[in-house]
Amino acid sequence: MSLNGKDERRENGTIRICGPDDVALLHRMSVDTYVDTFAGTSSDEDMDKFLEESYSEPVLRGELSNPDSVFLLISVQPDSDSKEHADSDSSDSTKTDELPAGYMKLNFGEAQVEDMGSGTMEIQRLYIDKQFKGLGLGTQLMNFALDTARKRGLHKVWLGVWEHNEPAKHFYAGKGFVRVGQHAFWQGDDKQTDYLMAREV
């Protein structure tokens, strides 16, 4: 899918752009996937503070309205093992009968959290729900991101990853990303370090 509002079927999931009506779904997915990934890496107080400052519905609504940011949702067809999950999430609008499985946020221009020069795009978030990992959905989102950068005439894609998140670092390295620096990342009042990784497109 180019960023034209149409759904695209590729590989195992369907990718579409999120809009204002998706804020509740995006809030739930953001909190669930972040906690699944980083639970225990700081105090409960710091985790709660970070989630409120970064993933509350008002914050996400503001990010959704930023013309230099795009949220993408990837969803999959339910199978017999996930029917109960599909029923429980029936109120979440994904514009299809599919299950929301992950999401990604792309930043362009001044929405990027670091100045990496002209012709760049940031992947600020790429998360897959734990029950859908292993289906290639992360690779599908990454390929989409790289295609988006190429179609916009950009030459570099970059991201930040926690220095101790070995699975994510391995995943990004396998996609051609190399470490180019680091910056501070605040999880509440807990100062952590993110490695900055980039690749040409």
- Residues with catalytic roles: 172
- Asked if 99 and 86 touch (Cβ cutoff 8 Å), the reply is yes
Report the C-alpha gap between 24 and 47 in whole angstroms.
20
Residues written for the chain:
201
- Which tokens belong to 35? 């906690």
Task: List Cα–Cα distances, 152 to 88, 110, 123, 182, in angstroms.
Answer: 38, 15, 15, 26
Report the C-alpha gap between 174 and 28 in whole angstroms.
29
Report the C-alpha gap between 136 and 36 in whole angstroms.
18
Residue 105: strand pairing partners:
71, 125
